[in-house]
């Protein structure tokens, strides 16, 4: 009997593998919500009080030491007097501390505060090295656009920011 | 029959607060009126027109970037405003945002902050009552 020469179709297999590889990368990104997910504030009091003037920024965007510093001086909150009664202040401080970027389990928060010296307690999310790097392509004209107006106005570009997604 | 009576009674109780008791807004106005009267015996009620004037006037005593209420709240009381940080503010007019001014503590909190920002001082009970009458009328 004549041996059957096994003809392996290399080309389609390699092509198939390449396609699979890239789909895998895409899928992983899609599962990660396009890249950046910071759980929105879950506590209704925190949401109400911190979301009065600006988006209630996710606790995982700053380390504990930053939140402690901020909650200790609400009277001078970026030029505004945002002081609250003691009980409310305490409740917000506790929530922020428990959910801060360095509280553990904060995938993107942990990355966001990389490069921040442990001796420093930055108050502005927009001054974190990682934040600056991620936004380096935004021109000053774009920042000044009427719909944007402020770097604190995440939703102007990240339309899903209220739900925690900060994609491009 | 008994069930029906009970249901009717229950329903009646539900609507009772709407009809016979003062709303939180009325309570607030009454508080401000009492305080305004004790500040000036000549006080003879609030005026929505004065409230409107307060709302649109530009003051010099507060922060440079917020000279008037309308700096953040829109020019029209029936339009949504925007904070310097870009957050949308629901229209101040009660006809547009009926849930407004129903929590006295919240009203006081924002009067305190906003009057300080715009006027550089707290608002008087007369100003608060006038302004509240204005937005209720809108």
Please give the residue range of the domain that contains residue A135.
44-163
DSSP 8-state code for residue A85: -
* Separation in Å, CA B122 to CA A112, B18, B38, B65, B70: 40, 32, 17, 18, 17
Bin A164: left if φ > 0, else alpha if -120 < ψ < 50, else beta: left
d(CA A50, CA A42) in angstroms, rounded, equals 12
**Residue A84 included in any domain:** yes
Q: Which residues in chain A have their CB less than 8 angstroms from residue B73's CB?
A: none
Chain A: closest CA distance from residue B69 (Å): 14
Residue A7 counted as domain residue: no
Q: Return the residue matching tokens 């179709």.
A: A9
Q: Tell me if A16 is assigned to some domain.
A: no
User: How far is Cα A26 from Cα A37, in angstroms, rounded to an integer?
Assistant: 16
Q: State residue A72's pLDDT score.
A: 97
Of B63, B87, B113, the CB nearest to A55: B87
In a domain, A146, yes or no: yes
Residue A56 has, within 13 A of its CA and on its CB side, a CA count of 19
Inspect the interface and report whether the beta carbons of A150 and B117 lie closer than 8 Å: no
A4 belongs to a structural domain = no
Helix (H, G, I), strand (E, B) or coil at A80: strand
Going from the C-alpha of B48 to that of each of B8, B20, B27, B58, B126, the distances in angstroms are 39, 24, 17, 18, 11
Domains of chain B: 23-137 (1.10.760.10)
pLDDT in tens, A77-103: 998 899 999 999 999 999 999 999 999
Q: DSSP assignment of B18-46, as one string?
A: HHHS--HHHHHHHHHHHHHHHH-TT----
Q: Which stretches of chain B score pLDDT less than 50?
A: 17-19
C-alpha–C-alpha distance, residues A149 and A82, integer Å? 21
* pLDDT digits 0-9 by tens, B73-100: 999 999 999 999 999 999 999 999 999 9
Residue A30 lies in a domain: no
pLDDT over 70, % of chain B: 85
Burial of A84 (0-12, 13-18, 19+ CB in 10 A): middle
Residue A36 domain-assigned (yes or no): no
For testing the chain A interface, which of B86, B114, B120 should be mutated: the one with the most A CBs within 10 Å?
B86
User: Closest partner residue to A54 among B63, B83, B113, by Cβ?
Assistant: B83
Its pTM stands at: 0.77
Q: A132 burial class (0-12, 13-18, 19+ CB within 10 angstroms)? A: exposed
Q: How many whole angstroms separate alpha carbon B84 and alpha carbon A148?
A: 10
How many Cα atoms sit within 13 Å of A104 on the Cβ side? 1
Number of domains within chain A:
1
Q: Do A80 and B85 touch (CB under 8 A)?
A: no
Inspect the interface and report whether the beta carbons of A153 and B85 lie closer than 8 Å.
Answer: yes
Which candidate from A54, A81, A156 shows the least CB-CB separation from B113? Answer: A81
Per-residue pLDDT of chain A (168 residues; tens, 9 = 90+): 555 667 888 888 899 898 988 887 776 655 554 568 999 999 999 999 999 999 999 999 999 999 999 999 999 999 889 999 999 999 999 999 999 999 987 888 889 999 999 999 999 999 999 999 999 999 999 999 988 989 999 999 999 999 999 987
């Amino acid at each position: 009997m004549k041996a059957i020469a096994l003809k392996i179709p290399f080309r389609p297999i390699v092509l198939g593998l390449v396609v699979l590889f890239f789909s895998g990368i895409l899928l992983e990104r899609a599962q990660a919500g396009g890249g950046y997910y910071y759980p929105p504030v879950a506590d209704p009091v925190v949401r109400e009080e911190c979301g009065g003037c600006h988006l209630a920024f996710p606790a995982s965007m700053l380390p504990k030491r930053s939140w402690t510093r901020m909650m200790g001086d609400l009277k001078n909150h970026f030029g505004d007097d945002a002081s609250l009664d003691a009980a409310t202040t305490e409740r917000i401080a506790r929530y922020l501390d428990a959910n801060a970027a360095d509280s553990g389990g904060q995938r993107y928060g942990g990355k966001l505060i990389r490069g921040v010296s442990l001796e420093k307690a930055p108050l502005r999310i927009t001054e974190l090295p990682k934040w600056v790097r991620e936004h380096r392509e935004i021109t000053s004209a774009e920042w000044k656009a009427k719909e944007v107006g402020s770097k604190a106005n995440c939703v102007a570009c990240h339309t899903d920011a209220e739900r925690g997604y900060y994609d491009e | 029959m008994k069930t029906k009576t009970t249901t009717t009674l229950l329903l009646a109780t539900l609507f009772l607060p709407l009809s016979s008791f003062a709303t939180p807004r009325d309570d607030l106005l009454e508080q401000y009126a009492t305080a305004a009267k004790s500040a000036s015996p000549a006080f003879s009620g609030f005026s929505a027109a004065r409230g409107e004037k307060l709302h649109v006037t530009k003051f010099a005593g507060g922060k440079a970037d917020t000279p008037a209420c309308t700096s953040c709240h829109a020019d029209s009381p029936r339009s949504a405003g925007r904070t310097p940080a870009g957050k949308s503010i629901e229209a101040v007019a009660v006809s547009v945002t009926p849930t407004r001014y129903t929590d006295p503590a919240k009203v006081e909190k924002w009067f305190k902050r906003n009057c300080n920002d715009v006027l550089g001082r707290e608002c008087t009970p007369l100003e608060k009552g006038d302004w509240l009458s204005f937005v209720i009328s809108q």
